Structure 1
Amino acid sequence: MGCGKTTVGRNLARKSGRKFVDMDSYIEEKAGMKVSEIFEKYGENRFRDMEHEACLELADTKGLVIASGGGAFTFQRNIDAFRGKDKIVLLDVPLDIIKQRLKNDTTRPLLQRPDKDEAMRQLYEKRLPIYLSAADITVSGKSTPLKTAYAILNAIDTQEK
């Protein structure tokens, strides 16, 4: 959460001639409700099942730049859905920058707690090693979204040579 997946993804799609898909928006459109409403009405487990269905569908669609939900790649079944079909890119952003970006956010269900900073720290420490092991490419997400998109394109190009 807060690493810039959506913003960088839009830039990357524009520069690579691919279509951009935000996975959470994709799920919301299919469900007819916001992610927060899905969490509230059906719980996190049902949302994760919907997220997995989205991973399976999107992984089989060519020509996309996909911004996954923050928790999608903490599940091996979602990593497996994408593995070998295209590159999984990790935007590596330090926790202090993420906290700054999310300080006024009220839309993320997992952060709707009084101890928001502690929740972010716990998620970050739990998820980062999983993200690192899932990623084909790791790029710093500290720069501007456009520079980060170019860094991803360069990393992919370098890896394919």
Structure 2
Amino acid sequence: MSLEKNAVLRSEKLLHSFWHVNHCIRRIVQRTALENDLTVPQYALLITIAPFEEMTQKQLGKATFFPKSTLSQAVDGLVQAELIKRNPVEDNRREMLLTLSEKGQVLYDKIQKQESSILKAFETATELLSEKQYDDLLTSQRQITTLLEEVIERGE
């Protein structure tokens, strides 16, 4: 087999591996969101805010990469469900500070304990890896992410 064909096969295998992981993550997230009466964007926002307890809506948008309309709808749904609170930032009334409510914390804690959640799945996956494997995996993913971001920037 030629070196060029071998390089294509390696890159395709890696791409398919990432696609497969992404597909599995999406399916687990969809199921967990549904089991907890949330939409996928609401679920993503909840698990993004929870470790910090509060974030501005702008920070949350940057962390999740959601379009503004999706972000606004998901935030509205979480506020209506009383899972988060939305208050203007003191020195910038146009910016909103999102705070996890007590009800939101209870739901997040429940989700963390669910055996079928993505949080539990990743906890199990990381336990299977040695420290070196874990560190090498994160390093490799950062390198790939950096390269992909450069490709995106060149195309914009």
Higher relative contact order (CA 8 A, sep 6+): 1
TM-score with structure 1 setting the length:
0.29
Larger radius of gyration between Structure 1 and Structure 2: 2
Give the number of the structure whose residues are more often helix, by fraction. Answer: 2
